[in-house]
Amino acid sequence: PNPTQLMDGSSSATTRPSEIVEGATSSDMAYLWCSNQNNNQDAKQIVLLHGSSFTKETWQSDDMLLQFCAGSKSVIALDFPVSTNYVGLMQVLDEVKTSSNDRQLFLSEEPVTLVTPSASGYSVVSWIINGDITQLPDYISEWVPVATG
């Protein structure tokens, strides 16, 4: 697939995803990140988690990460432990939205689209059951739980 091809199969001359950057947050959570010079106001910021049998690299197979990036403002795939509750999710979302002198700003302050395959959805479920649900819209604009099998 062409990295500038959008998820719906169309392409755009103004859609140019950056290269994929690999690193770790200040709390040592590994990530893959890409941004886009997308002028579309409706473009999303996407946070990708993974299921218990996978890693952040799973999102690179078949150029999935670049395809997400081509149609979005910014995408970050995190090696977020599936057993982490909503407090850990809030902390990592705050961390990737905060810039410091030695680190670029990964995501803007606006809420993200969160994709949670398989067991990684636990963090959101624990937020709904045990957390302050009124804070959820400040962090997550859309939740995409993905079940397999």
Q: Look up residue 9 and give its two tokens.
A: 């199969």
3-state percent helix, strand, coil for the chain, nearest multiple of 5: 30, 25, 45
pLDDT computed for residue 4 by the predictor: 39
Enumerate the H helices of the chain as residue ranges.
64-70, 86-96, 122-130, 136-139
In this predicted structure, the answer to whether residue 7 has a pLDDT above a threshold of 50 is no
Instruction: Report the predicted TM-score, pTM, of the whole model to 2 decimal places.
Output: 0.82
Model pLDDT for residues 43-62, shown as the tens digit of each residue: 889 999 998 888 899 898 87
